Amino acid sequence: MAGARPAPRWLPAAAALLWACCGSAATDGIQDQAEQFFRSGHTNNWAVLVCTSRFWFNYRHVANTLSVYRSVKRLGIPDSHIVLMLADDMACNPRNPKPATVFSHKNMELNVYGDDVEVDYRSYEVTVENFLRVLTGRIPPSTPRSKRLLSDDRSNILIYMTGHGGNGFLKFQDSEEITNVELADAFEQMWQKRRYNELLFIIDTCQGASMYERFYSPNIMALASSQVGEDSLSHQPDLGIGVHLMDRYTFYVLEFLEEIHPASQTNMNDLFQVCPRSLCVSTPGHRTDLFHRDPQNVLITDFFGSVRKVEITTQTVALDPNLVGLETRVPNDEMATEPLKYAEQLPVAQIIHQVEGAVAANWLTACTE
Amino acid sequence: MAADAAEKARGKRAALSFAAVALVLGLPLWWKTTETYRASLPYTGISALGSLRFQLTVPVAVVFAKGALPGAQWRRLPFADTQEEESLLNPKTSVTARYETTYRGATATEQAALAMATVQEADAALLPLQEDLVGALTVYVIPETSLLLPQGVGVYVGKHRSAVMRGTQGPGDVLAAISARVQQIVQAMSFTTDSITTALSDRVPMDQLGTDTRRPFKSSLGYEITFSLLNPDPKSHDVHWDIEAAVNSYVQPFLDKLGSVANFSVDSQILYYAVLGVSPRFDKASSSFILSALSLPHVINPVEARLGSSATSLYPVLNFLLYVPERVHSPLYIQDKDGAAVGTNAFHSPRWGGIMVYNIDHPAPDKAPLPLRVDVDMVRVMEVFLAQLRLLFGISQVPLPEEFLLESPGNKGLSDWELDRLLWTRTVENIATVSTTLTSLAQLLDKIGNIVIKDDVASEVYHAVASAQTAMLELASGHLGSAFQASKEAVTSSERAFFDPSLLHLLYFPDDQKFAIYIPLFLPMAVPILLSLVKILREAKQSKKEPMKTD
């Protein structure tokens, strides 16, 4: 007791300061680690948007798909990474009173067709076979790049399907159907070849939840507009155009997406709340058990947008321009090409000056020059 | 009566012959015509490939210069030694690193080379004396007192496949003392367990995926490299860049060195009025415009649509953009997270490419008429683009201790041993991919009996299995070059087999649909035959009973 000295007054303050610093450094470290852990590991985004019904009275399905296309493009996914399949042409349909437009809101408020729509599979090309070929990658070698899904193991893919469906199937073009087992097998084929990092599957049809019941591959999250046994209803007709313009579920999803911009931090739980029963009449469903991250940490822009990861380049390679002459190889000689010109289309002078008999023969030879 | 009996007998014979024809002729014919053609596949080979036991052999030669070893130990040379390190990654994958080391003394020519003035000259002189084997390494040990290596440097790693290290001068076992250092050098120049595990990340799921695994492109047969010059302000700047000469001088040697890895095609374009999607902030302190690190991710998307990468080939595309900022936004600098200016003024995006901002000095407005002619300094630009290209291919800097001196690869952009590192990881990755692809293909074809397996698909699968086995054998015997070629062939064949368009099955028949198809065809025919057969049997039984009764 005699040897005990009172602690200096500054000690508690210093301790508190030190603890605060360490604490904040620790939380910073934890924060960084947390960010990294919850962030998705994707480097690019793809979207496959499919409308499966044709005929003028299914206008709303094309409008559904185009509104998702529009949101996805606005949030940054380029056309080269979107595979858009529309089974019928509504914008240039002879029954469309406003040609080259597809509206999603009544009173023609929002034209989702725009002026730079790139449809990859159109009209009769939208078949179950082509859809499965796009997903699995078993495409004939002559298919152009815009019709392929060239995703890799770091791609997040958004798949949106709409049309008429039933319990366990989705109708394509009124003539064939795709079953939920086929779809689940196609996704498994994609997973085997690591053609996706994470997949978001959205379906807006009657009894849509039956389509995601059979999925068994990892990293898939699914949303549907209605449960088994329920019908998805359309939103509103436009009396000027004469058909229903959108389906309820996609209408409210579009409204939700209009608020998102590329830097938003909105997560998937908000998307699950879109279109409650009071507005949608059907009960939207979702499935997240195959997904490894918590939906709370999944950003909407992880699937709907294309936010790139970037790193600052800190190093350079040292190059010596003086060594160039010694190390370059001789470039290949270019073939000398003679300048080309169009052949004379109509050598009038020769025709006029030709007299009877020789006219026909000379005219023929002149055109084939 | 007799006519009746004869009639009945004929009826019975007719019914029996119908049944016989249906069973003997009809059933096999129906079976044969509805079966799908399935060529045979090497299922045993595929299942053998399912569990991968990699044996990676590195031939190392340790050459001692005179004076590096005391006399007693010198007399033990030359001898060979083998070291193995096994790591079991998961029940189906294991990697054994095998270092076959030969220790020998230096020959006269090597000794003369090691006596040169600088270590760079020595390296160049030693090059023709080594065997030109991809994957093999040579370590030269010089006496501790030698002046070849500069002060403070313990190891010099050349730009080919050799290193020069300083020996230890102690009285003890020099060989044992330097073996740890030799191991370190060999691992830096070939592979480590970590780098191989990263290459196998598909098979061995890793908890935390660092940027090193996400950044490089996956192994592919070809790559398309596009250089684009973005000029958003042609009214003020008339930008010229001699891209063809720059590509020929700086990029082509790098790509030629990587020629065995993949095919490359290079193109370039100039885009006018292409703006970055983000408006830069004006910073009063430095009176320049700043692009902060947070806004960089949003720069790429608006410009990507104009790059035209969708019109090119099916190979992955690497885009390198050179952006010349507008006059009103000059000079433009990039800031990193901490607010410091970035020296290179460039950033890159994993698996996409890189962007560099090129600032121009503007003289006073009245001195120079607009548009200002600008000739881009291609050397500065290519230094950055080549660095980004190396990162995107996964050729990252190996963390080495202080006393290692790394020789810069010069204009080639890539040292031989860095290429070897790439080849080790790529070969392992390729073989792992082949194994996964073929296993899943075999499972798919097994599960769905309706898929047609054509002959060319089967031959591709056979070829893939054979090439993969060759690659594993070559890896075990230390021939990295041929192992890589074999693995590349295996990957090509397996991808071609897996993605063959004929392997799409649309014949998903649930059982009730099968019944619905066959019943209307077979039931009308089968019912009368079955009924008459039953009647015949019953009559035969009755006629057997009757004679017994009357007896």
State the Cα–Cα distance between residues B486 and B345, nearest whole angstrom.
41
| Residue spans of alpha helices (H) in B327-451 | 378-392, 416-447
Contact A313 B348 (CB under 8 A): yes
Distance from C-alpha of B391 to C-alpha of B24, rounded to nearest angstrom: 69
Give yes or no for residue B81 having a pLDDT over 90: no
CA distance B11 to chain A (A): 47
Query: Contacts of residue B411 in chain A, CB cutoff 8 Å?
Result: 319-320, 323-324, 327
pLDDT at B507: 57
| Residue A206: active-site member | yes
A133/B contact by beta carbon, under 8 A: yes
* CA B283 distance to own-chain centroid: 44
For A194, counting Cβ atoms within 10 Å of its Cβ (0-12 exposed, 13-18 middle, 19+ buried), the class is middle
Determine the structural domain holding residue B258 and report its residue range.
Answer: 222-393
Interchain CB contacts (distance < 8 Å): A and B? 171
Report the SS3 class of residue A204.
strand
pLDDT of A4 strictly over 60: no
> Stretch A26-55: mean pLDDT, rounded?
71
Q: Of the ranges A269-283, A300-314, B67-81, which one carries the lowest mean pLDDT score? A: B67-81
- Do B32 and B59 belong together in one domain? no
Chain A residue numbers with beta carbons less than 8 Å from the beta carbon of B356 are 313
> pLDDT-based confidence at B411, cuts 50/70/90?
confident
Q: B75 and B127: one domain?
A: yes
Asked if residues A59 and A243 have their Cβ atoms less than 8 Å apart, the reply is yes
What tens digit of pLDDT does each residue of A134-171 get? 999 999 988 988 899 999 888 999 999 999 999 999 99
| DSSP string computed for A141-173 | TT--GGGS----TTEEEEEEEES-EETTEEEET
**B121 and B179 housed in the same domain:** yes
What's the residue count for chain A? 369
Q: What percent of chain B has pLDDT over 70?
A: 94
pLDDT at B312: 63
Of chain B, the end-to-end C-alpha distance in Å amounts to: 23
Q: What mean pLDDT value characterizes chain B?
A: 85
Which residues in chain A are contacts of B412 at CB distance < 8 A?
A: 327
The more confident residue out of B305 and B289 is B289
Among B384, B419, B454, the domain-final residue is B419
Joined tokens for residue B244: 């063809």
Determine the CATH number of domain A42-304: 3.40.50.1460
Of A104, A84, A112, the residue nearest A252 (C-alpha) = A104
What mean pLDDT do residues B6-17 have? 85
Average pLDDT over residues B281-300: 86
Q: Model confidence over B230-262: pLDDT tens digits?
A: 999 899 889 999 999 999 988 998 999 888 888
- Residue B433 contacts residue B494 (beta carbons within 8 Å): yes
φ, ψ at B59 (rounded to 5°): -80, 120
Same domain, B1 and B133: no
Whether B204 is covered by a domain: the verdict is no
Average pLDDT value for residue range A321-350: 65
**How far apart are the C-alpha atoms of A44 and A91, rounded to whole Å?**
31
Task: Please choose, from the candidates B350, B363, B359, the residue with its C-alpha nearest in 3D space to the C-alpha of residue B325.
Answer: B359
Tokens coding A332: 């290949």
- Does residue B302 sit in the same domain as residue B370? yes
Q: What is the pTM of this model?
A: 0.82
Contact present, A154 and B211 (Cβ < 8 Å): no
Number of domains in chain B: 3
Distance from CA of A32 to the nearest CA of B (A): 13
Run of H or E residues at B212: helix B211-214
What is d(CA B314, CA B306) in angstroms, rounded to the nearest whole number? 18
Instruction: Please indicate, yes or no, if residue B317 is contained in any of the structural domains.
Output: yes
Between CA B470 and CA A273 the distance in angstroms is: 56
DSSP 8-class letter at B119 = H
For an interface test with B, which of A33, A308, A327 has the most B Cβ atoms less than 10 Å from its Cβ?
A308
Q: Which residue has the tokens 């039956």?
A: A210
Chain B contact for A309 (CB, 8 A cutoff): yes
| Largest pairwise CA distance in chain A | 140
Chain segment B368-402, per-residue pLDDT in tens: 777 888 899 999 999 999 999 988 888 877 777 77
Tell whether B436 lies on the interface with A, counting CB pairs under 8 A.
yes
Task: Summarize chain B as % helix, strand, coil (round to 5).
Answer: 45, 20, 30
Q: With the CA atoms of A135, A139, A144 and A150 taken in that order, what torsion angle do they form, in degrees rounded to the nearest 10? A: 40
Q: Tell me the angle at which helices B43-50 and B455-477 cross, rounded to the nearest 10 degrees.
A: 40
Q: Is B546 on the interface with A (CB under 8 A)?
A: no
pLDDT for the residue B202: 76
The verdict on B259 and B117 lying in the same domain is no
| pLDDT value of residue A287 | 94
Which among A308, A248, A268, A260 has a CA at the least distance from the CA of A74?
A: A260
Closest approach of chain B CAs to the CA of A15, in angstroms? Answer: 28
In a domain, B239, yes or no: yes
Burial label, B344 (beta-carbon count in 10 A; 0-12, 13-18, 19+)? buried
- Contact of A265 with chain B, judged by CB distance below 8 Å, is answered with no
Residue B122 lies in a domain: yes
Q: Are strands A44-51 and A165-166 parallel, antiparallel or unpaired?
A: unpaired
User: In this complex, is the C-beta atom of B304 within 8 Å of any C-beta atom belonging to chain A?
Assistant: yes
Average pLDDT on B147-169 reads 82
* Residue A31 predicted with pLDDT over 50: no
Of A51, A206, A275, A280, the active-site residue reads A206
In this structure, the answer to whether residues B269 and B315 fall within a common structural domain is yes
> In this structure, what CATH number is given to the domain that contains residue B358?
3.40.390
The Cα of B528 is separated from the nearest Cα of chain A by a number of Å equal to 36
What are φ and ψ of residue A89, in 5° steps? -100, 105
Residue B458 domain flag: no
- Examine residue B493 and state whether it is found in any structural domain, yes or no: no
Classify B164 as helix, strand or coil. strand
Instruction: Say yes or no: ipTM exceeds 0.90.
Output: no
Confidence at residue A30, expressed as pLDDT on a 0 to 100 scale: 47
Assess whether B373 and B516 both reside in one domain. Answer: no
Highest mean pLDDT among A114-118, B6-10, B433-437: B433-437
Report CA dihedral (B208, B209, B211, B217) to the nearest 10 degrees: 170
Can you tell me the distance from the alpha carbon of A251 to that of A79, in angstroms, rounded to the nearest whole number?
A: 23
| Per-residue H/E/C for B224-260 | EEEEEEEECCCCCEEEECCHHHHHHHHHHHHHHHHHH
What's the CA gap between A276 and B248, in Å, rounded? 62
Specify whether the CB–CB gap between B423 and B261 falls below 8 A: yes
